[in-house]
Chains A and B, each alone.
Chain A
Amino acid sequence: MKTRPFLVISLILGFSFLLSIALGAVTIPPGNALRILVGKLPWFEFSGDWPSYFETILLDLRLPHSILVALTGMALAGSGASFQGLFRNPLADPYLIGVASGAGLGAIIVMSIPQVGRYLIPLGAFLGGLGTIAAVYRLAKVGRMVPLTTLILAGVAIGSFTSALTSFLMLISDEMVLQAMSFLLGGSTVTGWEPLVIALPYFSIGLTLLVFGGHSLNVLQFGEEQAQQLGLNVERVKIFIIISASLTTAAAVSFSGVIGFVGLVVPHIIRLVWGGDYKKLIPLSILGGGITLLLSDIVARTIMAPGYLPVGIVTSLIGAPFFLWILRRAKKEVFW
């Protein structure tokens, strides 16, 4: 487990993904699911001894849903790990520092303007997230430092403020209420391939940029002063990380709502197991985030089947106690 983290975590991700497309109101045996998928590739042909609606459910519903869920988890954990590195603060998380709520507000504002299409929702979320992080950073900064307490306080304050604005916007635009409500609870109610196609560029650009930032974050762990003395262009790097992490958070929020604790818990576990090197921590957190949200989503879809529980409720119910357990466990160990 120590030696091949990428192999281990990729295998678990593949397994979780297969489980995610197989399980639901109708259970498709994972073997069949795999054969249906592989059979769609040009070089393979499998005779189907399964009902034909399996293919419809799998290809039109489950597959785009599971891909979106995996990407959302990846985005939240990847941006969480990057924010933690940027602020040198293990409690930074797109949810706790208010970026996710700000992105939610940005998305809602765009949704409440009737003329603009859903293609612009991620852009609104991106701008909302960026504005929030700028405000939180300015409020939290004491001298040259961003201490834990002020960061969380500023994040909570700005987060509550943007959430209140969001609620207000939802109340005054009544036809939007239902759509916005379910969206903000952190349940990806969007289905089919279309939202995925809109989301994909945001996710892929954001995640790639986050991985590129790993080395710079390593240098930043020794403080901005030393990072600059080591030759890092600190101001440029900070802007780069903030933009890429906000972009990724915005992509997640635009299509799946506000989902807490994935960005906090996943990088923690990865750091405990494989150490604090951001060149590894960020890609591993991204893969781990995919696993975590896929599994949470399975729970959300099956625990009240055929009803659907918003996945944000599941991640918070599992994530919050788990986080407390990590904190207790980590008291004696140095992992930061």
Chain B
Amino acid sequence: MKQTINPAVLQIRSLSANYGDVNALDDISLDVQQGEIVGMIGPNGAGKSTLIKVLSGVLNASAGEVLINQKNVNSYSPNQRARTLAVVPQARQLGGAFTVEQAVLLGRTAYLGFLGKPAREDLKKVAWAMKQTAVDSLADRKLAEISGGEQQRVLMARALAQDAPVLLLDEPTNHLDLRYQVNLLKLIKKLVKQEGLSVLMAMHDLNQVSGTADRVVLLANGKLKALGSPEEVLTPENIMQAYQTEIETFTHPNSNKHIIFPVE
């Protein structure tokens, strides 16, 4: 776990949000430092996607506040917010008529003028993002013609093209086969190291969280149940409480990673 005296890039303070009468988030407080990956886990409906929606301004908070670089996000224009915070959503069949390159270029929306004419800088960033996510060979293919995993990588490339210091990911490995799961998590680690990104990532696979995240936050029923290192959070007690599932944990003999195994 990193110790730093700098204030956290992303600060979430006593955040609550509702869908109608349903309390989707209840008093969440969490900081994400520069160069840190925070893995977000919790059963379906725990509030992971809701938190990403509130942080990205799609859903309003009912209480609490979110600061990015010590500034309340509500004071950001949509444009400024997109330059500060990029989201990798779950792949869905949207924008199928666009080519991969056109879709990644939309990551530059916050930098383009009203007419959307890209400058050389924008195209350079797009080419870089496509190369990082290995979709450059698909540049001219339509989104509707590529696989779900490839679409997920295109969405990742689009977020990278956004060039924002904070990156939020909603189960980014969901549609990927094992090779691209490993590649994507490696890429995220590399970018965090290289560019000093702050990453908050919702994930399902507890071992992937354990292997990737510096810290883990466990949500259940919209409440924060545990926050700390993988070893501190991914305990049989916490997991039983949140998922009603019995697990065993052990340390991998070679990598020293904290490993989770469901009890048969």
Contact = CB atoms under 8 A, between A and B. Distances in A.
A131 interface: no
Interface string A175-215: 00000000000000000000000000000000000001011
A174 interface: no
Given A215-B116, A219-B109, A229 B86 contact: yes
B218 to A, nearest CB: 25
Contacts of A223: 92, 94
Contact of A225 (B53, B83, B86, B102): B53
Contact of A276 (B83, B98, B109): B98
B219 interface: no
A279 interface: yes
A32 interface: no
Interface stretch (A74-82, A152-160, A230-238, A299-307): A230-238
B122 to A, nearest CB: 12
A334 B96 contact: yes
Nearest to A233: B78
B78 A231 contact: yes
Interface string A31-49: 0000000000000000000
A230 B106 contact: yes
A222 B95 contact: yes
Interface string B99-137: 100110011011010111000000000000000000000
Given A228-B78, A231-B81, A218 B106 contact: yes
A57 to B, nearest CB: 41
Nearest to A271: B97
Interface string B52-69: 010011100000000000
B116 A214 contact: yes
A276 B97 contact: yes
Interface residues of A, number: 26
Nearest to B92: A223
Contacts of A229: 56-58, 82, 86-87, 89
B50 interface: no
A208 to B, nearest CB: 12
Nearest to A221: B95
Interface residues of B, number: 35
- Select the residue from B78, B98, B112, B144 with max chain A CB neighbours within 10 A: B78
B98 A218 contact: yes
Contacts of A275: 97, 99
B6 to A, nearest CB: 26
Nearest to A220: B95
Contacts of A231: 78-79, 81-83, 109-110, 162
B257 interface: no
A271 B98 CA distance: 11
B126 to A, nearest CB: 13
B232 interface: no
Interface string B132-146: 000000000010110
A268 to B, nearest CB: 12
A334 B142 contact: yes
B239 to A, nearest CB: 31
A306 B152 CA distance: 61
Contacts of B103: 222
A334 B145 contact: yes
A230 B116 CA distance: 13
A226 interface: yes
Contacts of A212: 114-115
B75 interface: no
B194 interface: no
Given A230-B109, A231-B83, A221 B115 contact: no
Interface in A218-269: 218-219, 221-223, 225-226, 228-234
A215 B112 contact: yes
A276 B143 CA distance: 11
B77 interface: yes
Contacts of B95: 221-222
Contacts of B102: 218, 277
B142 A230 contact: no
A234 B77 CA distance: 12
A221 B144 CA distance: 13
Interface in A317-336: 334-336
A335 B97 contact: yes
Contact of B162 (A214, A230, A277): A230
Contacts of A232: 78, 109
B89 A226 contact: yes
Interface of A: 212, 214-216, 218-219, 221-223, 225-226, 228-234, 271, 275-277, 279, 334-336
23 contacts: A212-B115, A214-B115, A215-B115, A216-B114, A216-B116, A218-B98, A221-B97, A222-B95, A223-B92, A229-B58, A229-B89, A230-B106, A230-B107, A230-B109, A230-B110, A230-B162, A232-B109, A233-B77, A275-B99, A276-B97, A279-B115, A334-B96, A334-B144
Interface of B: 53, 56-58, 77-79, 81-83, 86-87, 89, 92, 94-99, 102-103, 106-107, 109-110, 112, 114-116, 142, 144-145, 158, 162
5 residue pairs, one from A and one from B, having the closest CB atoms: A276-B97, A215-B116, A231-B82, A231-B110, A334-B144
